[in-house]
Amino acid sequence: MRYARGFTLIEVLVALAIVAIGMAAVLGTLTSSANTISYLRDKTFAQWVALNQIATLRISGQMTATGNSDGNIDFAGRSWHWRREVTTTQVPGVVRIDVKVRPADVKADEDNGWFTTVSGIQGDAVGVPNGYQPDWGAQGFGNGQPSNRLGAPGANGSGGLGTPGTIGPGGIGAPGTTGSGGIGAPDTLGGGTGPTPAPPPPPPPTDQPPPDSSE
């Protein structure tokens, strides 16, 4: 009789050991990811608490006294412990504010266990003006003169698009451009004195021979 050969006890134990090691690695990775996400969430909340503390001091309208202070506050369904350190700066009238925050249930000393530290400034110092005025140039069109809105004389007129109330002192003037002379001369618009008369036609030629009288 021939018997079917199965797994031995040692083979089964080795397979179970491999599976257990793999499952432990997977569970360790999942646990580490969950802890990291939880820490980042708490760190974000701690930063918001610190920013709120600095913003509250800035909008209070009063200068914060230098020194250290601490307290607890409830935020996002959890209690937080904060510590505020206010120091002077090299600029008169400006102080530096450092706020450290951690969950209230974390037990640590004043130098450890903080989830975040946010720094800000507060003050009422005003800089002394240096008297510098930027040169923005003349405002307008054309050649930039305030009285010449649409261009320099000879371009679009010294008073706009022409002398108000008339077409121009010269009527249909000499060659030019659109200027104070009104409509302009032939080929262009300008402010001349009138059209140039056309030359008279040349006389008929007189050097032809006289007709023959013999005919």
CATH classification of the domain holding 36: 3.30.1300.30
Are 84 and 149 contained in the same domain? no
Please write the tens of the pLDDT for every residue from 159-213. Answer: 444 444 444 454 444 454 444 444 444 444 444 455 555 666 666 655 555 555 4
Q: Do 50 and 118 contact (CB within 8 A), yes or no?
A: yes
Are 107 and 147 contained in the same domain? no
Q: Is residue 197 part of a domain?
A: no
The two structure tokens encoding residue 124: 């009422």
Query: Which residues are within 8 A (CB) of 45 and not within 5 positions of it... i.e. 6 or more apart?
Result: 75, 76, 78, 80
Total number of domains in the chain: 2
pLDDT of residue 108: 87
Q: pTM of this prediction? A: 0.50
Q: Which of 95, 123, 151 is the last residue of a domain?
A: 123
The parent domain of residue 174 ranges over 141-190
Question: Which pLDDT band holds residue 157 (cuts at 50, 70, 90)?
Answer: very low
Please write the tens of the pLDDT for every residue from 115-153. Answer: 999 999 998 877 666 777 777 776 555 554 444 444 444
| Buried b / exposed e along 120-132 (16+ C-beta atoms within 10 A) | bebbeeeeeeeee
